[in-house]
Amino acid sequence: MKLPRIAFFALLLIFCSSSAFAQSTSLIHAGKLLAVPGDDVQTEKTIVIKQGMISAVEDGYLSAEDLSLSDSEVQIIDLSDKFVLPGLIDMHTHITNERDPEVNPHEWLTLYDEDFAYEAIPFLEATLQAGFTTVRNLGAAYTTINAIKRAVNKGLIEGPRIISASGGISATGGHGDFHGYRSEVINAFEESVGICDGADDCSRAVRAVVKQGADVIKITATGGVLSNTAAGVGQQLTDEELEAIVKTANMLGRKVAAHAHQAGGINAALEAGVHSIEHGSYLDDRSVELFNETGAYLVPTLLAGVVLLEEMEVNDDIPPAIVAKIKEVIPNVEAAFKRALDGGVNIAFGTDSGVSKHGTNAREFELMVAYGMSNEEAIKSATIYASDLLGMSNFLGTLEAGKFADIIAVDENPLEDISSLKEVQFVMKQGKVYSNK
Ligand SMILES: [Zn+2]
């Protein structure tokens, strides 16, 4: 399903009105260059950057003189001993918070939306420094995430480009609703506009979150692991609700990302036409067929499962309902990923960071490769495929003329050693350098 052009141009306007990118011309001398993941690595190239965009990629190392410019008008960036590739994209983050077993689990009850915005500052910085120049944030208070997004676009704080779902859409009592407190406590919170029951009400919920600024619609099609309720991880939104959500979202020019674990919920969401399944822990052969029929993406978030198992070793205070779901769900994740991989399902990179530590996103690459994906496909999942799922392939995902100058560099060739992406040495977002080690 194509997005209406108007929505796309609105999105573009937001990014291009940013004052955060550099004004002068920059020339990056790239020793090794993977301009288009999937194509051959090139050597000794110059990336020409003007007004935050790539204007050309040329052979050899160009000087200011080659462009008929004076030295003062040009910034030369020497990456002749580095491996240069497009900025990475994480399709599933929660940038406004981070699990920390050391912190009182009830602390969030004392915080305002503004607190979460301040707490996000180091998370944004860590994510960008790790080479992730764009994130799709799937769940945060709209007040918080909208303010953060504006601050990043204005250059007030350092962070990746944010595509945001604001709050998610969930059934009453579903994974995205509040749980685990007395009803008086829960009732003290303003009810989220994204909680819905019945097809019409779920259409209303989509309209409401779009009104609050959502770029993409996040839904919880099934139960989830980290909600404090023993409700399992089966389907929670009905087929009719799912259809109404997708139809309304498409009318408003938004894609739908569906959190889903059990196969019934995954398949119902795919039948309804969602654009991505998040997690997909129990996807079955029918799911693979549906993925391939619809062209939907799987966003596996392997890292979330691994860090929850790591956390269980050291944290005795995880609520019993959550521990039971971790033990039930996580052991299935590897087999589900392999089934998708073998079935030729589109896979886009996503970590669920916030469950894991922000800035450790690249651990996901190691897991994808350990579970059988090639290094090249793993890199494509965080560049070409992610930009396709965002509907932003015209501007993101490769280093070609006309694209945003979102560029990173590492010491070693990640096609040979995927772990090199854990040590990003250079980060440029929209023409501005944020890291150069
Ligand atoms: Zn998530």
| 259-278: pLDDT as tens digits | 999 999 999 999 999 999 99
Per-residue confidence at 22, pLDDT binned at 50, 70, 90? very low
Q: How far does residue 378's CA lie from ligand 1's centre (Å)?
A: 20
Q: Which residues are in the CB-under-5-Å shell of ion ligand 1?
A: 352
Which of 117-121, 188-192, 198-202, 408-412 is predicted least confidently? Answer: 188-192
pLDDT at residue 299 above 70?
yes
Tokens representing 164 are 């945001």
Kindly state whether residue 351 falls inside one of the protein's structural domains: yes
| 329-357: pLDDT as tens digits | 888 899 999 999 999 999 999 999 999 99
Residue with structure tokens 């799922």? Answer: 389
Residue 1 has a pLDDT of 42
Residue 147 has a pLDDT of 97
pLDDT at residue 21 above 50?
no
Kindly state whether residue 2 falls inside one of the protein's structural domains: no
Are residues 160 and 292 both part of a single domain? yes
Q: How far does residue 52's CA lie from ligand 1's centre (Å)?
A: 31
Exposure b/e, 358-371, CB count within 10 A at least 16 = b = bbbbbbbbbbbbeb
Integer angstrom CA distances of residue 297 from 44, 96, 168, 288 = 35, 25, 19, 10
Kindly state whether residue 242 falls inside one of the protein's structural domains: yes
3-state class of 125 per DSSP?
A: helix
Average pLDDT over residues 289-300: 98
Residue 424 has a pLDDT of 98
Closest CA to 426 of 24, 88, 172, 56: 88
Calculate the dihedral angle through the C-alpha atoms of 365, 121, 425, 353, rounding to the nearest 10 degrees.
0
Residue 106 has a pLDDT of 81
Average pLDDT over residues 18-28: 67
Are residues 102 and 76 both part of a single domain? no
Q: How far does residue 355's CA lie from ligand 1's centre (Å)?
A: 8
Are residues 119 and 140 both part of a single domain? yes
pLDDT at residue 107 above 90?
no
3-state class of 426 per DSSP?
A: strand
Closest CA to 129 of 95, 156, 158: 158
Kindly state whether residue 1 falls inside one of the protein's structural domains: no
Kindly state whether residue 383 falls inside one of the protein's structural domains: yes
Q: How far does residue 374's CA lie from ligand 1's centre (Å)?
A: 25
pLDDT at residue 177 above 90?
no
Supply the range of the domain harboring residue 63.
Answer: 7-86+398-436
Average pLDDT over residues 358-384: 98
Q: Which CATH number fits the domain that encloses residue 365? A: 3.20.20.140
Average pLDDT over residues 383-391: 98
Q: Which CATH number fits the domain that encloses residue 38? A: 2.30.40.10
Residue 28 has a pLDDT of 98
Are residues 39 and 165 both part of a single domain? no
Are residues 364 and 251 both part of a single domain? yes
Q: How far does residue 217's CA lie from ligand 1's centre (Å)?
A: 13
Residue 136 has a pLDDT of 98
Question: What's the mean pLDDT when you consider all of the chain?
Answer: 92
| 41-60: pLDDT as tens digits | 999 999 999 999 999 999 99
Are residues 12 and 73 both part of a single domain? yes
Residue 3 has a pLDDT of 45
pLDDT at residue 382 above 90?
yes
Are residues 280 and 408 both part of a single domain? no
Q: How far does residue 167's CA lie from ligand 1's centre (Å)?
A: 11
- Number of domains forming the structure of the chain: 2
Residue 184 has a pLDDT of 87
Are residues 337 and 347 both part of a single domain? yes
Are residues 52 and 94 both part of a single domain? no
Residue 324 has a pLDDT of 85
Residue 145 has a pLDDT of 97
pLDDT at residue 12 above 60?
no
Are residues 148 and 28 both part of a single domain? no
Are residues 270 and 363 both part of a single domain? yes
Kindly state whether residue 315 falls inside one of the protein's structural domains: yes
Kindly state whether residue 286 falls inside one of the protein's structural domains: yes
Are residues 275 and 337 both part of a single domain? yes
Average pLDDT over residues 243-255: 98
pLDDT at residue 396 above 90?
yes
Kindly state whether residue 107 falls inside one of the protein's structural domains: yes
Per-residue confidence at 6, pLDDT binned at 50, 70, 90? very low
Residue 13 has a pLDDT of 45
Average pLDDT over residues 22-31: 86
Q: How far does residue 258's CA lie from ligand 1's centre (Å)?
A: 10
Q: How far does residue 183's CA lie from ligand 1's centre (Å)?
A: 25
pTM of the predicted model, to two decimals?
Answer: 0.93
Can you tell me the distance from the alpha carbon of 213 to that of 150, in angstroms, rounded to the nearest whole number? 12
Residue 307 has a pLDDT of 93
